[in-house]
Amino acid sequence: MTTILSIQNVDKFYGPIDRGVHAVRQLSIDIPKGEIVALLGSSGCGKTSTLRMIAGFEEVSRGAIAIAGRPVHMLAPVKRNVAMAFEGYSLYPPLTVRENIGFALKASRLGKAAVEKKVAEIAGLLEIEDILDRYPSSISGGQQQRASLGRALVRDADLHLLDEPMGQLEPQLRAVLRGRIKHFIKERGLTAILVTHDQTEANALADRIAVMEGGVLQQFDAPQTIKERPANLFTGTFVGEPPMNVFEAFVTGESDGIKLRLPDGLALDYEQGAFARDVRDALLRRQRVVIGIRPYAVRRARDGMPATVSANQWLGDQTHIAADFAGGSLVLVEHDRTRLERGERIGIRIDPQNLHVFDAGSGAAISHGAELA
Protein backbone atom coordinates (compact mmCIF):
# COMPACT_ATOMS: atom_id res chain seq x y z
CA MET A 1 0.00 0.00 0.00
CA THR A 2 1.31 3.48 -0.87
CA THR A 3 2.30 5.53 2.13
CA ILE A 4 1.06 9.09 1.69
CA LEU A 5 2.28 10.59 4.94
CA SER A 6 5.32 9.49 6.84
CA ILE A 7 6.29 11.25 10.09
CA GLN A 8 9.59 10.03 11.46
CA ASN A 9 10.84 10.82 14.99
CA VAL A 10 9.44 14.32 14.95
CA ASP A 11 9.93 16.66 17.89
CA LYS A 12 8.46 20.11 18.23
CA PHE A 13 9.87 22.69 20.62
CA TYR A 14 8.49 26.19 20.91
CA GLY A 15 11.54 28.23 21.81
CA PRO A 16 15.05 26.75 21.94
CA ILE A 17 15.47 23.06 21.12
CA ASP A 18 15.69 20.95 24.30
CA ARG A 19 14.86 23.96 26.46
CA GLY A 20 11.61 25.40 25.09
CA VAL A 21 8.08 23.97 25.37
CA HIS A 22 8.30 20.34 24.19
CA ALA A 23 4.94 20.20 22.38
CA VAL A 24 5.44 17.00 20.32
CA ARG A 25 7.75 14.18 21.38
CA GLN A 26 9.37 11.61 19.12
CA LEU A 27 6.30 11.20 16.96
CA SER A 28 6.33 8.53 14.25
CA ILE A 29 3.26 7.78 12.13
CA ASP A 30 2.70 6.30 8.67
CA ILE A 31 -0.58 6.84 6.86
CA PRO A 32 -1.47 4.90 3.71
CA LYS A 33 -3.39 6.32 0.76
CA GLY A 34 -7.14 6.45 1.28
CA GLU A 35 -7.10 6.44 5.06
CA ILE A 36 -8.89 8.93 7.31
CA VAL A 37 -6.99 9.55 10.54
CA ALA A 38 -8.14 11.57 13.54
CA LEU A 39 -5.66 13.19 15.88
CA LEU A 40 -7.54 13.10 19.16
CA GLY A 41 -6.57 14.53 22.52
CA SER A 42 -7.35 17.15 25.12
CA SER A 43 -6.32 20.78 24.87
CA GLY A 44 -2.54 21.20 24.75
CA CYS A 45 -1.75 17.58 23.84
CA GLY A 46 0.11 18.58 20.67
CA LYS A 47 -2.42 17.68 17.97
CA THR A 48 -2.59 21.14 16.38
CA SER A 49 1.21 21.48 16.45
CA THR A 50 1.41 18.15 14.61
CA LEU A 51 -1.07 19.23 11.95
CA ARG A 52 0.68 22.57 11.51
CA MET A 53 4.04 20.87 11.02
CA ILE A 54 2.53 18.64 8.33
CA ALA A 55 1.01 21.70 6.64
CA GLY A 56 4.23 23.69 6.94
CA PHE A 57 2.97 26.45 9.22
CA GLU A 58 5.33 25.33 11.99
CA GLU A 59 8.91 24.22 11.66
CA VAL A 60 9.90 20.70 12.61
CA SER A 61 12.45 20.92 15.43
CA ARG A 62 13.80 17.41 14.84
CA GLY A 63 12.88 14.52 12.57
CA ALA A 64 11.42 14.27 9.08
CA ILE A 65 8.07 14.46 7.31
CA ALA A 66 7.46 13.03 3.84
CA ILE A 67 4.30 13.35 1.73
CA ALA A 68 3.82 10.93 -1.17
CA GLY A 69 7.44 9.85 -0.79
CA ARG A 70 8.84 13.38 -0.96
CA PRO A 71 10.56 14.97 2.07
CA VAL A 72 8.59 18.15 2.75
CA HIS A 73 9.61 19.40 6.17
CA MET A 74 11.90 22.00 4.61
CA LEU A 75 9.34 23.12 2.00
CA ALA A 76 6.95 26.07 2.14
CA PRO A 77 3.24 25.15 2.65
CA VAL A 78 2.28 25.84 -0.98
CA LYS A 79 4.89 23.37 -2.21
CA ARG A 80 3.54 20.44 -0.21
CA ASN A 81 0.43 19.65 -2.26
CA VAL A 82 -1.86 19.55 0.76
CA ALA A 83 -5.38 20.96 0.98
CA MET A 84 -6.23 22.56 4.29
CA ALA A 85 -9.25 23.66 6.25
CA PHE A 86 -7.73 25.52 9.19
CA GLU A 87 -9.27 27.96 11.58
CA GLY A 88 -6.60 30.59 10.91
CA TYR A 89 -6.51 29.81 7.19
CA SER A 90 -9.49 31.90 6.33
CA LEU A 91 -11.44 32.65 3.18
CA TYR A 92 -10.31 35.48 0.90
CA PRO A 93 -12.51 38.44 1.89
CA PRO A 94 -12.76 40.04 -1.60
CA LEU A 95 -14.09 36.82 -3.17
CA THR A 96 -17.56 35.33 -2.83
CA VAL A 97 -17.95 31.88 -1.33
CA ARG A 98 -18.36 30.47 -4.86
CA GLU A 99 -15.15 32.17 -6.01
CA ASN A 100 -13.30 31.07 -2.87
CA ILE A 101 -14.17 27.43 -3.52
CA GLY A 102 -13.59 27.74 -7.29
CA PHE A 103 -10.28 29.53 -6.75
CA ALA A 104 -8.85 26.41 -5.18
CA LEU A 105 -9.60 24.59 -8.45
CA LYS A 106 -7.90 27.10 -10.72
CA ALA A 107 -4.55 25.36 -10.63
CA SER A 108 -6.23 22.12 -11.76
CA ARG A 109 -6.90 23.68 -15.21
CA LEU A 110 -10.46 22.43 -15.28
CA GLY A 111 -12.86 24.09 -17.68
CA LYS A 112 -15.41 26.59 -16.38
CA ALA A 113 -18.29 24.14 -16.54
CA ALA A 114 -16.34 21.46 -14.67
CA VAL A 115 -15.39 23.95 -11.93
CA GLU A 116 -19.01 25.04 -11.60
CA LYS A 117 -20.16 21.45 -11.35
CA LYS A 118 -17.64 20.67 -8.62
CA VAL A 119 -18.49 23.80 -6.64
CA ALA A 120 -22.21 23.01 -6.87
CA GLU A 121 -21.63 19.44 -5.77
CA ILE A 122 -19.60 20.35 -2.67
CA ALA A 123 -21.97 23.23 -1.84
CA GLY A 124 -24.89 20.80 -1.92
CA LEU A 125 -23.06 18.33 0.27
CA LEU A 126 -22.26 21.02 2.87
CA GLU A 127 -25.63 22.79 2.55
CA ILE A 128 -24.20 26.16 1.55
CA GLU A 129 -25.83 26.56 -1.91
CA ASP A 130 -27.80 29.57 -0.68
CA ILE A 131 -24.72 31.56 0.35
CA LEU A 132 -22.51 30.92 -2.69
CA ASP A 133 -22.80 34.52 -3.89
CA ARG A 134 -22.20 36.11 -0.49
CA TYR A 135 -18.91 37.47 0.80
CA PRO A 136 -17.16 35.88 3.80
CA SER A 137 -17.75 38.91 6.01
CA SER A 138 -21.52 38.59 5.57
CA ILE A 139 -21.94 34.93 6.59
CA SER A 140 -21.93 33.25 10.01
CA GLY A 141 -18.96 31.48 11.63
CA GLY A 142 -20.51 28.09 10.93
CA GLN A 143 -21.09 28.99 7.26
CA GLN A 144 -17.50 30.24 6.94
CA GLN A 145 -16.31 26.98 8.39
CA ARG A 146 -18.30 24.97 5.85
CA ALA A 147 -17.10 27.18 2.99
CA SER A 148 -13.52 26.66 4.11
CA LEU A 149 -14.12 22.92 4.39
CA GLY A 150 -15.60 22.92 0.89
CA ARG A 151 -12.61 24.79 -0.48
CA ALA A 152 -10.29 22.14 0.95
CA LEU A 153 -12.37 19.12 -0.06
CA VAL A 154 -12.79 20.08 -3.75
CA ARG A 155 -9.06 20.29 -4.21
CA ASP A 156 -7.10 17.51 -5.75
CA ALA A 157 -4.19 17.07 -3.32
CA ASP A 158 -2.04 14.32 -1.87
CA LEU A 159 -3.33 15.01 1.60
CA HIS A 160 -6.31 16.82 3.14
CA LEU A 161 -5.79 18.42 6.56
CA LEU A 162 -8.87 19.40 8.53
CA ASP A 163 -8.52 21.26 11.81
CA GLU A 164 -11.64 20.89 14.00
CA PRO A 165 -13.63 21.02 10.74
CA MET A 166 -17.06 21.04 12.35
CA GLY A 167 -16.35 22.75 15.67
CA GLN A 168 -18.70 25.64 15.00
CA LEU A 169 -21.67 23.67 13.70
CA GLU A 170 -24.82 22.68 15.52
CA PRO A 171 -25.01 19.03 16.64
CA GLN A 172 -27.71 17.97 14.13
CA LEU A 173 -25.91 19.44 11.16
CA ARG A 174 -22.61 18.02 12.38
CA ALA A 175 -24.09 14.53 12.54
CA VAL A 176 -25.47 14.76 8.98
CA LEU A 177 -22.28 16.26 7.53
CA ARG A 178 -20.02 13.69 9.18
CA GLY A 179 -21.61 10.91 7.20
CA ARG A 180 -21.55 12.85 3.94
CA ILE A 181 -17.96 14.01 4.34
CA LYS A 182 -16.78 10.51 5.11
CA HIS A 183 -18.57 9.19 2.04
CA PHE A 184 -17.08 11.99 -0.12
CA ILE A 185 -13.53 11.30 1.07
CA LYS A 186 -13.85 7.53 0.74
CA GLU A 187 -15.50 7.61 -2.68
CA ARG A 188 -12.60 9.63 -4.08
CA GLY A 189 -9.89 7.71 -2.25
CA LEU A 190 -8.59 10.88 -0.58
CA THR A 191 -6.26 10.72 2.41
CA ALA A 192 -7.31 12.95 5.27
CA ILE A 193 -6.15 13.90 8.74
CA LEU A 194 -8.48 15.69 11.05
CA VAL A 195 -7.76 17.22 14.41
CA THR A 196 -10.51 16.98 16.97
CA HIS A 197 -11.11 16.84 20.69
CA ASP A 198 -14.52 15.30 20.05
CA GLN A 199 -14.35 11.53 20.28
CA THR A 200 -17.74 11.04 18.63
CA GLU A 201 -16.38 12.84 15.59
CA ALA A 202 -13.18 10.80 15.63
CA ASN A 203 -15.13 7.53 15.96
CA ALA A 204 -17.58 8.43 13.21
CA LEU A 205 -15.09 9.69 10.66
CA ALA A 206 -11.76 8.01 11.19
CA ASP A 207 -10.42 4.64 10.09
CA ARG A 208 -7.74 5.03 12.75
CA ILE A 209 -7.39 7.37 15.70
CA ALA A 210 -4.07 8.70 16.97
CA VAL A 211 -4.62 9.47 20.65
CA MET A 212 -2.15 12.04 21.98
CA GLU A 213 -1.39 13.29 25.46
CA GLY A 214 1.48 15.44 26.71
CA GLY A 215 2.96 15.56 23.20
CA VAL A 216 3.25 11.76 23.15
CA LEU A 217 1.34 9.40 20.85
CA GLN A 218 -0.48 7.05 23.22
CA GLN A 219 -2.14 4.72 20.73
CA PHE A 220 -2.76 4.58 16.99
CA ASP A 221 -5.50 2.10 16.14
CA ALA A 222 -8.99 1.61 14.77
CA PRO A 223 -11.73 3.11 17.00
CA GLN A 224 -13.00 -0.34 17.95
CA THR A 225 -9.53 -1.52 18.99
CA ILE A 226 -9.00 1.58 21.10
CA LYS A 227 -12.28 0.89 22.91
CA GLU A 228 -11.72 -2.83 23.35
CA ARG A 229 -7.97 -2.91 23.83
CA PRO A 230 -6.75 0.42 25.20
CA ALA A 231 -2.95 0.45 25.23
CA ASN A 232 -2.76 2.19 28.58
CA LEU A 233 -4.73 3.78 31.36
CA PHE A 234 -4.76 7.13 29.57
CA THR A 235 -6.51 5.89 26.41
CA GLY A 236 -8.70 3.61 28.50
CA THR A 237 -10.12 6.49 30.50
CA PHE A 238 -9.97 9.16 27.77
CA VAL A 239 -11.85 7.30 25.05
CA GLY A 240 -15.36 6.10 25.90
CA GLU A 241 -18.41 7.85 27.28
CA PRO A 242 -19.04 7.77 30.20
CA PRO A 243 -15.37 7.12 31.04
CA MET A 244 -14.08 3.74 32.14
CA ASN A 245 -14.34 3.09 35.91
CA VAL A 246 -10.94 2.50 37.51
CA PHE A 247 -9.85 1.15 40.91
CA GLU A 248 -6.53 0.24 42.44
CA ALA A 249 -6.27 -3.42 43.34
CA PHE A 250 -3.87 -5.89 44.96
CA VAL A 251 -3.47 -9.23 43.25
CA THR A 252 -3.17 -12.46 45.17
CA GLY A 253 -3.27 -16.07 43.99
CA GLU A 254 -5.99 -18.24 45.49
CA SER A 255 -5.33 -21.92 44.75
CA ASP A 256 -5.61 -21.76 40.95
CA GLY A 257 -7.78 -18.69 40.80
CA ILE A 258 -7.05 -15.03 41.30
CA LYS A 259 -8.20 -12.47 43.83
CA LEU A 260 -8.18 -8.73 43.21
CA ARG A 261 -8.48 -6.91 46.51
CA LEU A 262 -10.16 -3.52 46.33
CA PRO A 263 -10.44 -0.79 48.99
CA ASP A 264 -13.11 -1.15 51.72
CA GLY A 265 -12.39 -4.84 52.16
CA LEU A 266 -14.01 -5.80 48.86
CA ALA A 267 -12.52 -8.35 46.49
CA LEU A 268 -13.07 -9.73 43.03
CA ASP A 269 -12.69 -13.45 43.31
CA TYR A 270 -12.10 -15.28 40.06
CA GLU A 271 -11.94 -19.02 39.75
CA GLN A 272 -9.42 -21.05 37.87
CA GLY A 273 -9.94 -20.67 34.14
CA ALA A 274 -11.35 -17.14 34.33
CA PHE A 275 -8.04 -15.92 32.92
CA ALA A 276 -5.52 -17.61 30.66
CA ARG A 277 -2.49 -18.94 32.49
CA ASP A 278 -0.15 -16.25 31.07
CA VAL A 279 -2.56 -13.53 32.20
CA ARG A 280 -2.70 -14.97 35.70
CA ASP A 281 1.11 -15.12 35.82
CA ALA A 282 1.43 -11.52 34.57
CA LEU A 283 -1.03 -10.29 37.19
CA LEU A 284 0.63 -12.16 40.02
CA ARG A 285 4.02 -10.71 39.06
CA ARG A 286 2.69 -7.13 39.41
CA GLN A 287 0.72 -7.42 42.66
CA ARG A 288 -0.36 -3.77 42.58
CA VAL A 289 -2.51 -2.99 39.53
CA VAL A 290 -5.30 -0.71 38.35
CA ILE A 291 -8.45 -2.39 37.12
CA GLY A 292 -10.79 -0.80 34.59
CA ILE A 293 -14.38 -1.61 33.71
CA ARG A 294 -16.55 0.16 31.14
CA PRO A 295 -19.83 1.53 32.57
CA TYR A 296 -21.95 -0.57 30.19
CA ALA A 297 -20.10 -3.73 31.23
CA VAL A 298 -20.86 -3.43 34.96
CA ARG A 299 -23.67 -5.82 35.97
CA ARG A 300 -26.06 -5.66 38.86
CA ALA A 301 -26.55 -8.89 40.82
CA ARG A 302 -28.21 -9.58 44.16
CA ASP A 303 -25.20 -11.48 45.45
CA GLY A 304 -22.69 -8.97 44.03
CA MET A 305 -20.35 -6.64 45.90
CA PRO A 306 -22.17 -3.90 47.84
CA ALA A 307 -22.55 -0.40 46.39
CA THR A 308 -24.81 2.52 47.29
CA VAL A 309 -26.64 4.52 44.61
CA SER A 310 -25.67 8.21 44.63
CA ALA A 311 -27.44 9.34 41.44
CA ASN A 312 -29.74 7.91 38.78
CA GLN A 313 -30.32 9.70 35.49
CA TRP A 314 -32.50 8.61 32.59
CA LEU A 315 -31.13 10.16 29.39
CA GLY A 316 -34.01 9.22 27.13
CA ASP A 317 -32.36 6.09 25.76
CA GLN A 318 -30.20 4.86 28.64
CA THR A 319 -29.83 5.10 32.39
CA HIS A 320 -26.65 6.34 34.05
CA ILE A 321 -26.37 5.14 37.62
CA ALA A 322 -23.62 6.45 39.89
CA ALA A 323 -22.81 4.47 43.01
CA ASP A 324 -20.38 4.69 45.91
CA PHE A 325 -18.24 1.62 45.62
CA ALA A 326 -14.88 0.43 46.97
CA GLY A 327 -13.98 3.81 48.45
CA GLY A 328 -14.64 5.55 45.14
CA SER A 329 -17.36 6.09 42.63
CA LEU A 330 -18.66 3.72 39.99
CA VAL A 331 -20.86 4.48 36.98
CA LEU A 332 -23.13 1.89 35.37
CA VAL A 333 -25.03 2.27 32.12
CA GLU A 334 -28.24 0.32 31.60
CA HIS A 335 -30.47 0.40 28.56
CA ASP A 336 -33.79 0.32 30.37
CA ARG A 337 -35.21 2.99 32.60
CA THR A 338 -34.18 1.90 36.09
CA ARG A 339 -36.05 3.02 39.18
CA LEU A 340 -33.33 3.19 41.79
CA GLU A 341 -33.39 5.71 44.60
CA ARG A 342 -30.46 7.61 45.98
CA GLY A 343 -29.12 5.69 49.00
CA GLU A 344 -30.42 2.34 47.75
CA ARG A 345 -28.06 -0.65 48.08
CA ILE A 346 -27.20 -2.62 44.98
CA GLY A 347 -24.92 -5.55 44.22
CA ILE A 348 -22.16 -5.21 41.62
CA ARG A 349 -20.71 -7.94 39.44
CA ILE A 350 -17.69 -7.58 37.19
CA ASP A 351 -17.23 -10.47 34.80
CA PRO A 352 -13.63 -11.36 33.99
CA GLN A 353 -14.14 -11.00 30.23
CA ASN A 354 -14.98 -7.32 30.76
CA LEU A 355 -12.04 -6.50 32.98
CA HIS A 356 -9.08 -4.40 31.82
CA VAL A 357 -5.97 -4.50 33.98
CA PHE A 358 -3.19 -1.91 33.88
CA ASP A 359 0.23 -1.63 35.50
CA ALA A 360 -0.11 0.63 38.56
CA GLY A 361 3.22 2.31 37.84
CA SER A 362 3.47 2.82 34.08
CA GLY A 363 -0.24 2.60 33.28
CA ALA A 364 0.50 0.15 30.42
CA ALA A 365 -2.23 -2.39 29.77
CA ILE A 366 -1.54 -5.89 31.10
CA SER A 367 -4.69 -7.69 30.03
CA HIS A 368 -8.07 -7.22 28.39
CA GLY A 369 -10.57 -9.81 29.50
CA ALA A 370 -9.04 -13.26 29.37
CA GLU A 371 -6.15 -12.25 27.11
CA LEU A 372 -2.82 -10.53 27.54
CA ALA A 373 -2.68 -6.98 26.16
Ligand X SMILES: Nc1ncnc2c1ncn2[C@@H]1O[C@H](COP(=O)(O)OP(=O)(O)OP(=O)(O)O)[C@@H](O)[C@H]1O
Question: In angstroms, rounded to a whole number, what is the distance separating the alpha carbons of residues 27 and 7?
Answer: 7
Amino acid identity for residue 343 in this structure: G
Q: Taking the CA of residue 143 as centre, how many other CA atoms within 13 Å lie in the half-sphere pointing to its CB? A: 17
Question: In angstroms, rounded to a whole number, what is the distance separating the alpha carbons of residues 192 and 187?
Answer: 13
Beta-bridge partners for 213: 216
Of the candidate spans 40-48, 229-237, 278-286, 298-306, the one that interacts with ligand X by CB under 6 A turns out to be 40-48
**Residue 312 is a binding residue for ligand X (CB under 6 A):** no
What separation in angstroms does the CA of 80 have from each of 37, 75, 158, 218? 19, 7, 8, 27
What does the buried/exposed string (b/e) look like for 228-254 if buried means 16 or more CB atoms within 10 Å of the residue's CB?
A: ebbbbbbbbbbbbeeebbbbbbebeee
Cβ proximity to ligand X, 49 vs 199, nearer residue: 49
Q: How far is the CB of 45 from ligand X (least distance, A)?
A: 4
Cβ proximity to ligand X, 196 vs 312, nearer residue: 196
**Residue 43 is a binding residue for ligand X (CB under 6 A):** yes
**Residue 236 is a binding residue for ligand X (CB under 6 A):** no
Of the candidate spans 44-52, 165-173, 243-251, 256-264, the one that interacts with ligand X by CB under 6 A turns out to be 44-52
**Residue 165 is a binding residue for ligand X (CB under 6 A):** no
Of the candidate spans 45-53, 66-74, 92-100, 336-344, the one that interacts with ligand X by CB under 6 A turns out to be 45-53
Count of residues that interact with ligand X, criterion CB under 6 A: 12
Question: In angstroms, rounded to a whole number, what is the distance separating the alpha carbons of residues 72 and 54?
Answer: 8
Cβ proximity to ligand X, 49 vs 148, nearer residue: 49
Which of 4, 5, 10, 23 is in the footprint of ligand X by CB under 6 A? 23
**Residue 366 is a binding residue for ligand X (CB under 6 A):** no
Which of 5, 6, 10, 46 is in the footprint of ligand X by CB under 6 A? 46
Q: How many CB atoms lie within 10 A of CB 11?
A: 18
**Residue 223 is a binding residue for ligand X (CB under 6 A):** no
Q: Is 85 left (phi over 0), alpha (psi -120 to 50) or beta?
A: beta
Q: How far, rounded to the nearest angstrom, does the alpha carbon of residue 100 sit from its chain's CA centroid?
A: 30
Residue nearest to ligand X as judged by C-beta position: 48
Question: In angstroms, rounded to a whole number, what is the distance separating the alpha carbons of residues 352 and 369?
Answer: 6
- Binding mask 183-222 toward ligand X (x if CB under 6 A, else -) reads --------------x-------------------------
Cβ proximity to ligand X, 44 vs 142, nearer residue: 44
Cβ proximity to ligand X, 163 vs 334, nearer residue: 163
**Residue 41 is a binding residue for ligand X (CB under 6 A):** yes
Question: In angstroms, rounded to a whole number, what is the distance separating the alpha carbons of residues 134 and 96?
Answer: 5
Could you list the residues that contact ligand X (CB under 6 A)?
14, 21, 23, 41, 43-49, 197
